[in-house]
Homo-oligomer: A and B are copies of this chain.
């Protein structure tokens, strides 16, 4: 891995060696893969070739001679939206359609990297906690890699997602609680048995790197840097990684400016938005009172509020926004998206569309000059009942 320097702690700055660790060995902080960008920069012209996320292999934390575990993830469409979905018809709007990845969510980017890294480290077994999409992706990529896979999910996870995990042959366990409870269970068992933990908060420093490829693709497809990027967030690894990807492109001299990042949560589970609105530095865990239909981003961050803080830091740094969306708004925009655009996405993803009108009402966008990308993270077909309850 001549392009990888190590795992840098975002807390104490200690550079950890590349191995199966999840926290800084010095202070237990969140880890971030650091690359030898000088070396990459010299080769960067050669890097942006080939197909799918693996055309960016040199920017991912794997040895160059390892064969990727791939199902054809990435290179999803960037659609121009020229009809009124926002209340402002002059909007310069695009949707990045992550819902048509192989297992129908953006998680395929990180799980393709995670299972490739699993092969590289020659682990025996992988495990993950999930609200559904990570579990489906983990099960599929584990099957493709012939790797045994165990998944912990909240018991109210949409039945379609559970059925898919089982079909791919994963060992599934329903947890009587929310995502944070599933997180704790998976973590305990991973530690005890020394299984590789793929949980897609900021826990696994390798898996999360797959999300960076979203930035590279937006750069290629849009032909530069969109002014605003709107992303649904639970803990927020996609938002943080996407921003990291753009910062890398800037370092390489390919772009001059960075996008403003907007994180969107469901009002019923919005720890990051609460901190943003209070203008605090740190995110606190959320006390779940009622369930949201946006199950994919229903993460109260009970054991790891620092993951939310990492996302909040990125939003602040980018000059972005944090927005929450009501259940009624989610239902309204889900139907509108299908009827007006032919796009069927899950409730979590809809939040990134509802946010456009909210930011418009708050006069956050300069329509004469600015471009907006909403990321549609997962397909609606994996949570069909929510529409017909």
A positions within 8 Å CB-CB of B = 51-52, 70-72, 75-79, 83, 97, 100-104, 139-144, 146, 160, 163-164, 167-169, 221, 335, 338-344, 379-382, 384, 387-388
* Copies, count: 2
Given contacts A140-B342, A143-B339, 18 further A-B contacts (CB under 8 A): A71-B97, A71-B343, A72-B77, A75-B75, A77-B102, A83-B146, A97-B102, A102-B342, A103-B342, A140-B343, A141-B342, A142-B342, A144-B341, A144-B342, A146-B340, A160-B384, A167-B380, A168-B338
In the complex, the answer to whether B339 meets A168 with C-beta atoms within 8 Å is: yes
What 3 A-B pairs come out closest when comparing CB atoms? A72-B77, A140-B342, A144-B342
In the complex, the answer to whether B70 meets A79 with C-beta atoms within 8 Å is: yes
In the complex, the answer to whether B104 meets A339 with C-beta atoms within 8 Å is: no
Closest chain-B Cβ to A59's Cβ sits at a distance in Å of: 20
CA distance A102 to B342 in the complex (A): 9
**Residue from B141, B143, B340 in contact with A338 in the complex, judged by beta carbons closer than 8 Å:** B143
Name the residue among A75, A102, A388 with the largest chain B CB count within 10 angstroms.
A102
CA distance A384 to B341 in the complex (A): 25
Chain B residue numbers with a CB within 8 Å of A102 are 77, 97, 100, 342-343
In the complex, the answer to whether A169 meets B339 with C-beta atoms within 8 Å is: yes
Name the residue among A71, A79, A139, A221 with the largest chain B CB count within 10 angstroms.
A71
**Residue from B72, B167, B339 in contact with A344 in the complex, judged by beta carbons closer than 8 Å:** B167
Pairs across A and B, CB under 8 Å, 10 listed: A51-B221, A71-B77, A72-B77, A72-B100, A97-B102, A100-B101, A102-B342, A104-B379, A143-B340, A164-B381
Given A101-B100, A338-B143, A381-B164, A52-B77 contact (CB < 8 Å): yes
Majority SS at the chain A contact face: mixed
In the complex, the answer to whether A342 meets B77 with C-beta atoms within 8 Å is: no
**Residue from B100, B143, B144, B164 in contact with A100 in the complex, judged by beta carbons closer than 8 Å:** B100
Closest chain-B Cβ to A124's Cβ sits at a distance in Å of: 18
In the complex, the answer to whether B100 meets A341 with C-beta atoms within 8 Å is: no
In the complex, the answer to whether B76 meets A72 with C-beta atoms within 8 Å is: yes
Query: Which residue of chain B has the shortest Cβ distance to A340 in the bound complex?
Result: B143
Given A79-B71, A167-B335, A140-B344 contact (CB < 8 Å): yes
Chain B residue numbers with a CB within 8 Å of A72 are 76-79, 97, 100
Chain B residue numbers with a CB within 8 Å of A164 are 344, 381
CA distance A78 to B71 in the complex (A): 9
In the complex, the answer to whether A163 meets B83 with C-beta atoms within 8 Å is: no
In the complex, the answer to whether B340 meets A384 with C-beta atoms within 8 Å is: no
**Residue from B51, B169, B340, B384 in contact with A163 in the complex, judged by beta carbons closer than 8 Å:** B384
Name the residue among A51, A381, A384 with the largest chain B CB count within 10 angstroms.
A381
Name the residue among A101, A143, A382 with the largest chain B CB count within 10 angstroms.
A143
Chain B residue numbers with a CB within 8 Å of A100 are 72, 100-102, 104
In the complex, the answer to whether B388 meets A344 with C-beta atoms within 8 Å is: no
Chain B residue numbers with a CB within 8 Å of A103 are 342, 344
Chain B residue numbers with a CB within 8 Å of A76 are 72
Closest chain-B Cβ to A72's Cβ sits at a distance in Å of: 2
Chain B residue numbers with a CB within 8 Å of A160 are 381, 384
